[in-house]
Amino acid sequence: MLVHIIVSWLVSALALCLVSQIVSGIELSGFGAAMLATIVIGIVDAIIGPVLRFLAFPLTFLTLGLFRWVIYAFLLKLAAMLTPGFRIRGFLPALLGGLLLALLNYVLHRLVF
């Protein structure tokens, strides 16, 4: 169980490193910053995410779920503000980075597990 959590954390940090290499406007100072950022992203998503998703449900419903990506981009940008060594310059990189991060996390977790 603990090994699964640690490997999942490392895979998510790797995905974030790859996203920072692909999307200009997302900067990481190193793999350690990526590991810390994945923890902060998880905490921000667990604490603030449900409230935002609840409040934005009408917009999410009207856009057939597409507004959820805007919420995720906001949460990613917020996590970047709270994490040293992790920076997102603007909302569009956060939106593209969130989309790519979700996709890479899915693919990498499928390959590993």
Q: Is residue 22 part of a domain?
A: no
Q: Is residue 25 part of a domain?
A: no
> What Cα–Cα distance (Å) separates residue 5 from each residue in 2, 39, 67, 78?
5, 12, 29, 24
Read off the pLDDT of residues 13-26 as tens digits, 9 standing for 90 and up: 999 999 999 999 99
Read off the pLDDT of residues 85-113 as tens digits, 9 standing for 90 and up: 999 999 999 999 999 999 999 999 999 98
* Dihedral in degrees, nearest 10, Cα atoms 30, 32, 34, 35: 170
Residue 45's domain spans which residues? 31-112
Q: Is residue 92 part of a domain?
A: yes
Taking residues 79-89, report their average pLDDT. 97
pTM of the prediction?
0.92
Q: Is residue 24 part of a domain?
A: no
Q: Is residue 9 part of a domain?
A: no
Q: Is residue 12 part of a domain?
A: no
pLDDT of residue 71: 96
Q: Is residue 20 part of a domain?
A: no
Q: Is residue 1 part of a domain?
A: no
Domain count, the chain: 1
